Amino acid sequence: MNSRQARHLILFFLLLAAILFSCCQSQKDRERAQALRKQNDSLRTVIDSLRREFALRVHNSVASISDTRTGLWRLDTLSETGRLVFTTEYPNATAYEITAALNAAFRVDLAPQFKITAIRDNTAFVKILESGRLTQGLGSAGAQEYLAQVTFSLTSVPGIHSVEFDFEEGDHAAPGIFDRQHFVEMLK
């Protein structure tokens, strides 16, 4: 075998190795893609299950202005209705416990936090922290939805009938005293 044939033989084996390597990579890619599809299908199943569970909770929740259950009221964001619904019951919870639970949900939603500064004469006095996020960052509908969630959740606590919000007025919201009647349209 001369040097020319040896070079051709080496090139042939290098080309063969490259083809085999790419076939192996393609097989690995196919296996990886199949595993990702299975994982995606599993996640879809979990998400669908959670949506059905939430929809059932919402359906079983009789949303009413006179609902006496203590707990969180949130927007039904999984359906097209955007209604305010009772989502989580906290029997015997205080206004401060409801505040902590709602603030935890708001952290996930990237909504502003709030704190209760006082409770007197059946009114919870609430200070919105980072009020610019409420009055400028959420838009008009988002600001009203936020105020409704806080109002309905805090007025679910026995003895609280209204919420007085303290924050700097902006384009989309103004401070004031609110009760459930202010947001009755959001129940429909």
Max avg pLDDT among 43-47, 55-59, 110-114, 175-179: 175-179
Q: What is the mean pLDDT of residues 101-112?
A: 86
Stretch among 11-15, 50-54, 104-108 having the lowest mean pLDDT: 50-54
DSSP 3-state of 78? coil
Query: Which of 14-28, 79-93, 100-114 is the least confident region?
Result: 14-28
In this model, does residue 68 exceed pLDDT 50? yes
- Reported pTM: 0.64
Domain boundaries, the chain: 1-60, 67-187
Residue 142: alpha-carbon gap to chain centroid: 13
Helix H or strand E encompassing 88: strand 84-89
Check residue 155 and give its pLDDT.
94
Q: Return the H-helix or E-strand segment holding 90.
A: none
Q: Who has greater pLDDT, 138 or 1?
A: 138
Average pLDDT over residues 99-115: 88
Question: DSSP assignment of 87-136, as one string?
Answer: EEE-TT--HHHHHHHHHHHHHHHTPPPEEEEEEETTEEEEEETTHHIIII
Tokens (6 digits) for 99:
């505040």
Q: What pLDDT shows up at residue 62?
A: 46
pLDDT beyond 90 at 122: yes
**Per-residue confidence (pLDDT) for residue 150, from 0 to 100:** 93
* Start-to-end Cα distance in the chain: 89
Between 4-8, 9-13, 25-29, 51-55, the lowest mean confidence (pLDDT) is in 51-55
Structure tokens at 151: 């109002």
Q: Determine contact, residues 178/142, Cβ cutoff 8 Å.
A: no
Please tell me the total number of residues recorded for the chain in this structure: 188
Q: What is the pLDDT of residues 143-157, one digit of tens each?
A: 888 899 999 999 999
Q: Which two tokens stand for residue 144?
A: 């009203």
User: pLDDT at residue 7 above 80?
Assistant: no
pLDDT value, residue 57: 53
Contacts 24+ apart (CB under 8 A), 113-117: 114/150, 116/154, 117/166
Looking at every residue in the chain, the average pLDDT score rounds to 78
